[in-house]
Structures are given as C-alpha cells and as structure tokens.
Amino acid sequence: MPFGRCPVCGSSYHMSIGLPVDEWYRRYWPGVPVGAEVPGECIRCWIPLRVGHRVTVRVVPDGLTGVVSVGIEGVVSAVEPGKTALFVVEFQGAGIARGKFRREELWYVIGQPEVLKTTDDEPGAESERGA
C-alpha cells in the first residue's frame, strides 16, 4: 500500500487504492519508484475550502500571533479572491472574533457534513475534488 507525504503540512499518510500498486504508480505518479512516498496533499489540505467549512488553525499568521493559537477551530465565513485567496474564519472563544488566513495556514476538519457549493466561481474551490 502506498504512502504519501503532504507538501503543505508535512503529514505522512497511508492511501487505499483500487489498482495493483505498480499500475497505480505508473498511472498516477510516473517517475516515482514503486513503494516510494508520493508528494500528494493529505485530505486536510487538498479539500477546497468553502463558506461553512469547519477548519482548525495549522499556522498562526504574523498579524494574529498572541490572539489565535494553533489548533483552535473556526468556521469559514467568507473567501476573498486574489492572487492568493484569503479565508475569513469566525472563532468562538478566541482573542478575536475573526481572522484572515491563507489556505496553507488552515486544516479542513475531517468528518463534517458536506457544504454545498453556492456559485461556480467561488474563490478557493476551483479544483473541485469532492468535499
């Protein structure tokens, strides 16, 4: 069974695949030796975030040091478009009511109910891979 290492957060994880291992590597990761870790994003990093998704803070941005801590949970309330989308996250019980984060500063909370996509041009959800 293949293992991956997330290039965003560095987590190592096991993948369940539906093909023979050598065929899976050949088809999806050509050039990576069979049995080697693949550099694929983990489930907490690859899911496109949308308004309504629960997230946890993975990395505290410089402007929020001391008022938000790693691991605090919040809910995405808005997505601001731009070269790098910013996710506005609402908090309960933090030093502030809301903060802005880049995608790599947040983890998706696994196991939450599906959030329906509201528009086709929602920033941060360009690569619909299932959520």
Contact 34/20 with Cβ under 8 angstroms?
no
Q: Is the dihedral of CA 35, 19, 27, 41 positive or negative?
A: negative
One-letter amino acid at 25 equals Y
3-state secondary structure of 42: coil
129, pLDDT greater than 70: no
pLDDT for position 95: 74
Q: Running DSSP on this structure, what letter comes out for residue 52? A: T
pLDDT for position 119: 55
Q: What is the largest CA-CA distance in the chain?
A: 50
Domains of the chain: 3-43 (no CATH), 47-108 (2.30.30)
Give per-residue pLDDT as tens, 29-69. 999 999 999 999 998 988 999 999 999 999 999 989 988 99
Residues 87, 105: Cα–Cα separation, whole Å: 10
**Of the candidate ranges 32-41, 44-53, 108-117, 120-129, the one whose mean pLDDT is the lowest:** 120-129
